[in-house]
Structure formats: structure tokens, C-alpha cells
Structure 1
């Protein structure tokens, strides 16, 4: 009886997570949060906070709510953490054990409402196995997603156009078209580069002419050289330039042999000849700089 009375006084928080921000997953996240709140009410606990996010569970990176919960474990703000299942909290074996250790050291409890059970240090082996299985599931899922993405790009899929793609825009029907005013600025960059000017000098010329970026700021030399180097401006799209590596948890460059190059995929802002001339001039400037530095040293 005494234990039941003490349980009723527990201060509870819950953590809810789904992997993506797709609409169906958002609905799942809302349901998950509602289920957790109902589980807290059913046990007579007092809800004091909630940690909810749409992030991958494979690591702690970018998971602001999980990291907030992890730090709050050491504060006297709650007594029990409520989650749907172990994989909602973490799909990474190492981080699971770190969380469990901090939970135990802080004297907090962890309640799985789907199984209606509390975590116990005696379950360390079982929960460790679950963490390994969850991690392996994520690894295989990541491989499948990478493969599907690679297949789409290999089959001449639709090119990605970000909001930073200066000179281009996507139309209502999904086609890519040139923005004439921005394209004229880009051609000016290529012409100046082909004439032997470096990024900073080109930036100074454009600034003096009153040219500004979409954000209303002058272009930097780095911005200009990055655009000059981009083959998209001659209509060539390079796909599968990067891929996610689950083992490192990082997005890595794909070797040239694994990339897919499609010439004439989108409208060209500059000709092939001008693109080659500008990039050759940029290469020569870079080579001279390297020679100069080696002579100085």
C-alpha cells in the first residue's frame, strides 16, 4: 500500500521520437505522445515535462530533446522517464548503456508503457541485446535507403535543386528553369574568371557594380569560385556525390567512380567552352599560388 502511494506521487516525463518529418510519421509521433500521457495518467503520476522530436535514433547528434533529457537526468526535476519502447530512445548500443548508467546513478526510473514494465539493472544483458538488434536494424535500413537513392540517381532521376542554387528555380510542374537576371551575374563571374581574375577580385568588381546575392549581401570570393567550379552551370548534373556511412555516422564524399554524370540534364547558363576556360584559369591561379608558397618555404 505504501509503495502504491509513493508511486502516485512520482513526477513523470516522457520521451517520444520518430525517424522522419513525413506526414505519416508526424501522426505517429502525435499518437506516441498521447499514449505516453495516457500511461502517466493511468498510473496516477504527475506529468512535469515532455521531450518530443523527429530525429534518427542512431546517434545523439542533432537530437536536442534527447540531449536535454540526458542532461536533465542529473537534475531533481522528475522521478521517472516514460517511453514507448527501448528503440524509441536509442538505436545505438554505446549510447544506450551511457543513458542507462546515468539513469541508475541519478536514481531515476525508466518505464516502457508498451510492455508495462520498468527497466532494471538486472535487465542489462537483455536490453543490451535489444540495443544491438536495433542498431543492426538501423544499419540495414540505412543501406537499403542508400541503395534506393543510388538506384534512382543511376536511373537518371530528378536532380536536387536547393534554395541556394543561384541562377535557377523550380517551376510549379517540377521543371528547372533559368532566372535571367541571376544567370547574367553568373556569366559575368565566368567571364572575369576566364580573363584571369581570382575570386576576391571578381567579388570586388561585382560589389562595385552593385551586384548582390539573394540575401542582399555582396558575393564572397569563396562563393564565386564554388559557383565557377559547379558543372551544373553548363547543364551537367552530378548525382550521388555524397552518401551516408552508418559505421561512422557521417555523410561522406562518394568516389568519382560511384558518381553519376548527366550532361544536358538542365538548361545551361554558360557554354561548355566558357566553363572550361574559367576553370582552366582557376586551376592555373591555384597552381601558381602553390608554387609561390613552396618557393617561400
Structure 2
């Protein structure tokens, strides 16, 4: 008997075309420098892909994602790239076209991770230069090799650059590209004093030696409208501290205070002993005397010890209210202050930083810390006593609100269609088992059902993912757990309880304190009433 061979045509593409006639295609472009030639290249790429995609009848143009003047070594720095990936996840794109593997990413890990994520979504990336479509067989192996070569090239260039910089460190010939505040450069790249800025540097050192702190110095500089460093909005205490600790103002230069990691993704880190540093004494004309610099360092170290700062620069006794109290009037955070220092009735209060800087811009008054604690105690005990009437109904309502009526109807329709397709698949299996249809026809129809079923499930899952209120539900469940393990009325403020239940405190007028809990529920108390 002669063998009968019947070709089964691929149905996935056929079904997809029936469900979605045109493939939605976008392009991704990147220009990695700021030169005029590359800017022209950027514009040319945008125009090229717009025309290229528009020529295909079976493609639908969905736009250009173009990162301009950004590095390709780190995906997280490319806003347009990340937006494109998000649109792919949202089902808005079916295919991506880009010039080459090096234009897509020079970091092998990021490149492969993005390609695999897109491949799992059924979205291919076509690299024109290499003629590779990521949905084809063996594409990942080739892309891995090409991406690794590109990454190796980037790392090799970085290593060579760092070697050259290190050599100049050792020779003492390194020239700062961006001089510190108070200095500028001459024609040969040597540091020279910029007198208008040097005057401010001397003022900062003298005021610090006279007992003022960095925060107060910054505030006075802002009050006097002193021009800021590199056009910043205002002077910050962190900038003042940086000036006070920089040996450059004594005429010395400390090199390699920071370093770049060896492999991709390149990261800039503070040198805390990982690499050698190079100290050049008497490198340039000083702005302050060495005696002044030594005295400032002694005072700074003494204050650090008094405030309980460890070697990493972090406060050992961080306050539970730090960065959590927000001003309802201006939106700024509150800062901790001591009042009546040294008196028997010494108190701690929290005050809006904007009010401290300029009372005309924020009239919110300070609030004593003991009042905030007492008010929290009152709020928590009320919530504890009434949690069955507040949190349980809230949790039920949040679960009901996760989907609106239209979403609910859409999910119901998609579920019904999934049931229909599943039933059709079962019927088809029973028919072929009894020999009523040819196996080849069964395979073709079964594949078609599978493809459509996957598409419907994807749509259903997307509707479920967009229903929201996840944080509120998780936070409410967490509050109920905390209450279950702490069911008794508390008589004394509990710091741990506050930390685990409150996200923010909002201070308003007329003695109003609002506690925003971890489930976004806001409860307001009025102290002194």
C-alpha cells in the first residue's frame, strides 16, 4: 500500500491573523552621544523606520521608541526602552525592529532577559544588521554571543580608560574636569581660585567654627540669596557638609574618592577602601588655612559622636517619626527640634521645614512629640475597639471594588468563551478517538483551538491584573493580623506598633493630626479637644 502524506499547514499564524489582521510593529532607536552627527543620525533613524514599517500592508505602525543621548550599557537608564517593554506587556505591540544587537543593549544580562520576556509574550525582536528574529530557532544562542561581544567591547573600553586615569593619578598629572566650588581652571587645566565663590567658602568655614551647624549655614545662605552650586534651587546642608570635608580648600587634592565598577552594568560608588586613593599635597593655592581645616574636622567628628552616627554615616538612633510627618499646608516634611534645651521642661517638637525657612510661605505651627504619641495612642485604641465594624467591611468592599461593572462583565464573557473552547476541545478529542475524523484534521483544529484559548486567557489575565486595590487589601489584612496578636487596649505608646501600622502622619490646622495607615486608610484625631 502506497504511503499517503498530507501536509498540515501551520495554524498559529493563520489564527492570529484572523483574530488580529495586522501585526502591530514598532521600532527602537538609540543614539549614544551628544554630537551633532549622531543627532542627525537620530532623526534619520526615526524617519527611516516610520517609512519602513508604513510600507508593509500586513504591518500596523505603532510608533518609534527612541532614547536620545543615553548609554546602552544599562537598560534602567533608558526611559523609552522601559516604556516599550511596558507596552509589550500590556498587549499593544506584536513585533519590535531595531538596527542591531548593540543598539538594543550592550549588557548581555539585560539584553537576554528582555528578549526572553518578550519571547514569552509571543513578541519578536528583529535585528536588521544581523538578520535575526528572536522568535526563530537558535536565535538566542547567536544573540547571546553577539551581546557578549558587545559587552566585552564596552568593558574593554572602560578598563583602558580607567588605566589611563590611574596612570595620571600616580603621576600627579590628573586634571579635574569639573573643579570644586570656589575654583576654576586656567588654560593648562590647573586649579585657580574663583574669588566670588571662594568668599562664600570662607564664610561657610568661619560660621562653622563659630558654632553654627551645616543646616543653619545653608538656611542663612538661602536667606541672603547666595548663588547656589551648579544652579541648584537652594543650598542644602549636605552640600555645606561636603565643602567642610573637602581637603581641596587647604590646597590638597584627594583623587579616586569614587570609582566605577569593573563589569556591566557600570555603577558609580564611593571608595570606602576598595581601591587606593591618591593624595597630592600642595597641589594648588588654598582658600583656607590648614589650621582652620583641622579645627573643622575636629568639631565635625565631635558632633558626629554626640549625635550617634556610625562609620557608615547613618544615625544609630533613627527616630520613628523621621520623614513620616507631612505638612498639610505646603506638603513638606517635619524636622525634629529640641526646645527649652537644658531646662527641666526641655521638650522635643516637630516643625515643618518650610515654616522654619520662611514663615510667610507656611504658617503651620510645630507639634510636640509627646502630643503626637498620645494622639496615636487614642487613634489606635479607637480602631482596636471598633475594628470589626471598620476593617472587616472595608476589606470586603475593597475586594468588591477590585473590578468595576464593565470589567466584571468582560471577565465573565472571557470565562464563558474559555469554557466553550475547552468543551470544543473535549468533543474533538472524543470524535477523533472514535475514528470519525482524520488525525491530520484533528491536529489542525486542535492547534487552532489551543491558540485561540491562549489568546483569550491572556486577555482575561490582563483584566484581572488591572483591577487594582492590591496595597489596600494587603495592608488591611496585615492590620487585622496585628490586632489579632495585640487584642488588648494599650496604655503606653508603642514605637514598634507605630512603625508597623502607620505610613504617614499629616499635620493640619486646628489641632488636626491624621494618621495614614499601611492600607491607605486615614484616621483623624484632634489633640487638646
Relative to the length of structure 1, the TM-score reads 0.78
Cα distance in 2 between the residues matched to 1:74 and 1:209: 50
2:154 partner SS: helix
Q: Which residue of 2 aligns with 1:222?
A: 238
Cα distance in 1 between the residues matched to 2:192 and 2:96: 51
Residue by residue over 1:17-38, the C-alpha shift from the partner in whole angstroms, topping out at 9 and shown as x without a partner, is 2333344544444454455445
Residue by residue over 1:205-242, the C-alpha shift from the partner in whole angstroms, topping out at 9 and shown as x without a partner, is x3598363426976444332221111122232322222
Q: Which residue of 1 aligns with 2:93?
A: 78
Tell me if structure 1 keeps the 8 A contact 2:222–2:235.
Answer: no
Q: Which residue of 2 aligns with 1:252?
A: 269
Cα distance in 1 between the residues matched to 2:131 and 2:201: 62
1:14 partner SS: strand
Distance 1:290 1:104, change over 3 A: closer
1:166 partner SS: coil
Alignment of 1:3-82 (within 5 A): 9-37=22-50, 39-41=52-54, 43=56, 45-53=59-67, 54-82=69-97
Q: Which residue of 1 aligns with 2:167?
A: 151
Cα distance in 2 between the residues matched to 1:223 and 1:79: 48
2:89 partner SS: coil
Alignment of 1:202-217 (within 5 A): 202-203=217-218, 206=220, 210=224, 212-214=226-228
1:258 partner SS: coil
Between stretches 182-191 and 223-232, larger displacement belongs to: 182-191
Residue by residue over 1:38-74, the C-alpha shift from the partner in whole angstroms, topping out at 9 and shown as x without a partner, is 5435545443311112322232221111111111112
Q: Which residue of 2 aligns with 1:274?
A: 292
Residue by residue over 1:246-291, the C-alpha shift from the partner in whole angstroms, topping out at 9 and shown as x without a partner, is 4363212333862233334444221222222222222233334449
Between stretches 268-277 and 147-156, larger displacement belongs to: 147-156
Cα distance in 1 between the residues matched to 2:55 and 2:233: 56
Q: Which residue of 2 aligns with 1:130?
A: 146
1:279 partner SS: helix
Q: Which has the larger radius of gyration?
A: 2
Cα distance in 1 between the residues matched to 2:300 and 2:143: 56
Between stretches 247-256 and 78-87, larger displacement belongs to: 247-256
Report deviation, 1:167.
Answer: 2.8
Cα distance in 1 between the residues matched to 2:37 and 2:221: 47
Between stretches 168-177 and 249-258, larger displacement belongs to: 168-177
Find 2:127's aligned residue among 104, 112, 126.
112
Find 1:191's aligned residue among 206, 213, 230.
206
Cα distance in 2 between the residues matched to 1:97 and 1:216: 39
For CA contacts below 8 A with separation 6 or more, give which structure has more relative contact order. Answer: 1
Cα distance in 1 between the residues matched to 2:221 and 2:214: 12
2:93 is equivalent to residue 92 of structure 1: no
Cα distance in 2 between the residues matched to 1:220 and 1:285: 18
Q: Which residue of 2 aligns with 1:142?
A: 158
Gaps of 5+ in 1: none
Q: CA RMSD in A?
A: 3.6
Between stretches 266-275 and 226-235, larger displacement belongs to: 266-275
Between stretches 127-136 and 60-69, larger displacement belongs to: 127-136
Distance 1:236 1:75, change over 3 A: same
1:252 partner SS: strand
Tell me if structure 2 keeps the 8 A contact 1:196–1:282.
Answer: no
Distance 1:125 1:235, change over 3 A: same
Cα distance in 2 between the residues matched to 1:181 and 1:40: 57
Cα distance in 2 between the residues matched to 1:75 and 1:86: 24
Cα distance in 2 between the residues matched to 1:209 and 1:95: 47
1:238 partner SS: strand
1:73 partner SS: helix
Gaps of 5+ in 2: 1-12, 310-314, 317-529
Tell me if structure 1 keeps the 8 A contact 2:175–2:190.
Answer: no
Residue by residue over 1:54-98, the C-alpha shift from the partner in whole angstroms, topping out at 9 and shown as x without a partner, is 322232221111111111112343332111112211222332232
Cα distance in 1 between the residues matched to 2:124 and 2:222: 64
Give the aligned length: 287
